[in-house]
Structure 1
Amino acid sequence: MSRPVPRARPDSSARPGTDTPGARHRRTGGAAAFAFGGIAFWSTNALAGSSALATLDLGIVLLLQFVSCTLALGAAEAVTRTRSRRRPPPSAAGPPAPALTRQEWHHACWVGVLGFGGTMTFQYIGFAHAPIVEANIIAYGWPMFAAVWLAVTVRSRSTATHLVLALAGFAGVAMMTLAQGGDGPSGSPLGYGSALLSALFMAFYTLGVGRTRVPARRVMLIGGAAACCSSLAIALATGADWTPTTAWWAMVYVGLGPCAAGYLLWSVGMTRSRGRLAPLGYATPLLSTCVLLLAGRAFGGAVAAAGAVLVLLCTVGVLVTDRASAGSRL
């Protein structure tokens, strides 16, 4: 009768499905902490990026952030590999995990190239060709796409509410796009369209990274390496000015902070929660917009401001209904 005691230890550690409610809550809380860490970095992205774009060419801005991000991820990967080789294998680890299949690597490549590299590339094209506040809200409105996808694939009592709020949010995006606010090169369809495409790719990344066995840093390394090549091509094709300035440091910060650390923290949160905490991303446009407004940035016009407020209200609405439905399932 004393044998069940040692058997309880491997069950609680190796089988997540048999965890106690307290362990599940602690794991969810840890995942949320990682996700909010990523959101904190992202909230500074638009301000740092728009400041750099005021004096630097788009190609240089993209190249600086992707090179610094990829170097940081490469260093993290090298440290992780060194530690794993030095660490002795556990004696009771059980059977090794099956090797990654070619299909899994292909999926990881798509998530990295489109989800990571595509998100940041089109986000900065949007920042460069549209008013920064509106472009930021559209780019970080990616949970609208995620809400539509989850509403279609995972039916729940909040499905209809999510769809209505998402459609209202897209109406707000249309208001910002048609307003054509801003001055100079700002307010172009290229800017708004790129910001919206960035949101679509970010939704794809969030839903995809939590469903792949390839570590997030390797997914990002693949996307970062591809984005370095595309950024260099943009810089050469547009005849960018390569003269170093102090603004370069702003993009090095973006590469190390919002790009590398932000995505890694968010990826860990999404992996640990299997994507269930994706609605927390709705806090990003709220925080980043507050940072921009406090820094003196302004909306491109009254109609654009109304559309931005509509998007923000819809993002909060989806978050509230999602948390309410999750609470009712506990």
Structure 2
Amino acid sequence: MPGSIHKDSRVVRRFFVLVLLIVIAAGAAAAWWLQAPLPVRAGPALELEIEPGTTPRGVARAVVQAGVQTDARLLFLWFRLSGKDREIKAGNYEIPPGTSPYGLLQKLVRGEELLRAVTLVEGWTFRQVRAALARAENLKPDTQGQSDEAVMAALGRAGVPAEGRFFPDTYTYAKGSSDLAVLRRALHAMDRRLEAAWSQRAGDTPLKSADEALILASIVEKETGRAEDRAEIAGVFTNRLRVGMLLQTDPTVIYGLGEKFDGNLRRRDLTADTPWNTYTRAGLPPTPIAMPGKAALLAAVQPAPTKALYFVARGDGTSHFSSTLDEHNRAVNRYQRGQK
């Protein structure tokens, strides 16, 4: 009897050792699987779309349907055992090669969606902005067919002209986002940039409001792309505003011509009166003519301390500045007409 008991105890110990080894092996295998790259079909990174309300089991199936070559039941089991299965967020995701089950779940829980991007360029008009949004990949065209006025009303700015009100930058968005959401972010970005610039305005500026600063900044933006000339050009226009001279800037005339402008500004265009023709109307035009960037905004409120009232393009991207009409005419003859 005692020998039989001793023998039975050895069998029990061996059984428990075997079970322990199996558990350890299973744990090691599970740990390896969690960190190992998921097998995916050949090609670029996979795109995974999880609709709102999808169950954890449905998420696992969606991963496999996207091209991950694994057992959906195994993925679902991992989601459940992690305790984070209910934290998975809906959205559009990218599964790049080398993604592990652990990394995949972390991405889904954190909501690290695949983002697209659209760039709004300094100096663009609102018409160009809308065209860029219409071309943007997987951006929902909620504003399609709406007038500019309707778009601004949808953004909570009814009665405010759309031109120049959006800050030029690169904006990221998730698949299926609304173009109105991108515009709202750009609108608020310009609000912040304009407020910051206006708070830094020179004490003797003739500008009466932040809106006037935005209008002047848009003109500066269109007149030059050279950083070193912006403040000087803003200084010329500031001097003209102070003494009541016409601004006489071609970009405002071109803007007023709209789609009639064929790329060639003629003398008759300079005398064709529109609200934006600064050859026929004094002061600033009624609205901005484009989107100014940060540098143009700062130049408008902090112009260079200059006596210049004129400038002319040299033809190399720079400008020649003059304080008298005679000097300006000589510069025009030299740089525009090729006369010595």
- Pick the structure with more helix per residue: 1
TM bucket (normalised to shorter chain) is under 0.3
- TM-score scaled by structure 2? 0.25
Look at both structures and tell me which one has the larger radius of gyration over its CA atoms: 2
- Bigger strand share: 2
TM-score by length of 1: 0.25
Greater RCO (CA < 8 Å, at least 6 residues apart)? 1
